[in-house]
Amino acid sequence: MSQFVADLGKTAVLMGGTSAEREISLMSGNGVLQALRAQGVDAHAFDPSERDISELKRDGYRRCFIALHGRFGEDGTVQGALELMRIPYTGSGVMASSIAMDKVMTKRIWEAAGLPTPRYVVLGTEQQQRENVVKVPDALGLPLIVKPPREGSSIGVSKVKGYSQMQDAVRLSARYDPDVLCEEFIDGEEVTCAVIGSGADAHALPVVRITAPEGAYDYQNKYFTDVVSYQCPSGLPPAEESEISRIVLVAYKTLGCRGWARADLMIRASDRKPFLLEMNTSPGMTGHSLVPMSAKAAGISYEALCVQVLQLAALDYPLGLAPGQTETRP
């Protein structure tokens, strides 16, 4: 075992959790766990739904690889707990994780920065009556996308092709989130682009182009079938791939992300303009996941990717000082 790997110390791979993405998180986490152990890392599985997270401190863990997806794992809550325990963790910090988990807040920040993202309407709990719902297609056109703003893995997502489908789509989304995000449908190609690193060292990995049957890149097809095709290298014109990488890096830094993340985009067929959909701050690491696919195209094995991400584990306030606090000396 190399000194570098030994210096990583006892590592917890956080997986499972209580979100709607628990099943996918367990798949990601077990893959990461095996990869880290294969590289000589002292790695152990840790499911926050089955153990009190304070046991991480008690049991002497020196860092955490967050393979949790969705709420109570990707939304800043676990990150905040780890900050309090002073245990460095992979991925973005508290604020960036919290913002990126909320697609509406993410879109507002991207809009303020002049980044392209589809037009949208948010329906709060008091705005989901039929008289409000039927007006949404007039604003966004048809078809359109209806989804929970704080879920991932295409859970609760509907493509609405007619007015009569709107109410059912809103009801489905509201099962997962009290607010409902209605988004302009971008007709074109779906792509994804991962970023690794922080600050000036952040760099984009090769773009992955996704082709699903009839555009149905849903939960089942993402993880449990082989009907979706992926192209990496993407086969896009070099100028398009370069522009996607540029936009994604700006989007990553604008949200304050660090460590790693993956952005999902659509390229509009009519003019080849890319639109940002969301930023995933704890990307999937399953056999169907896209970051390992992109890393492989860049010459980085799954095992090396896991170690590289773990190496980037950090804290928002590594000196142990709260914002505005100054160090006092005896």
Is 176 noted as a catalytic residue in this protein? no
280 is catalytic: yes
Architecture of domain 3-91: 3-Layer(aba) Sandwich (3.40)
The yes-or-no answer on residue 30 being catalytic is no
57 to each of 17, 61, 84, how far by Cα in Å?
A: 18, 6, 10
120-184 topology per CATH: Dna Ligase; domain 1 (3.30.1490)
pLDDT of residue 325: 54
Q: Choose, from 280, 282, 289, 294, the residue flagged as catalytic.
A: 280
Q: How far apart are CA 159 and CA 173, in angstroms?
A: 11
Q: Is 230 annotated in the active site?
A: no
Q: Does the predicted model carry a pTM greater than 0.95?
A: no
- Active site (annotated) includes residue 201: no
Helix, strand, or coil (residue 239): helix
Tens-digit pLDDT profile for residues 129-140: 999 999 999 999
pLDDT above 70 covers a percentage of the chain that reads 90
The one catalytic residue among 16, 17, 19, 21: 21
Provide the residue ranges of all domains of the chain, joining segments of one domain with +: 3-91, 99-116+187-311, 120-184
Q: How confident is the model at residue 328 (pLDDT cuts 50, 70, 90)?
A: very low
Measured in whole angstroms, the distance separating CA 287 from the mean position of its chain's CA atoms is 16
Do 3-91 and 99-116+187-311 have matching folds?
no
pLDDT tens-digit profile of 210-233? 987 665 544 454 444 567 889 999
pLDDT in tens, 23-68: 999 999 999 999 999 999 999 999 999 999 999 999 999 999 999 9
Q: Which of 151, 284, 289, 302 is catalytic?
A: 284
Q: State both tokens at 101.
A: 């988990």
Is 221 a catalytic site residue? no
Which CATH superfamily includes the segment(s) 99-116+187-311? ATP-grasp fold, B domain (3.30.470.20)
303 noted as active-site residue: no
Residue carrying structure tokens 């049991």: 59
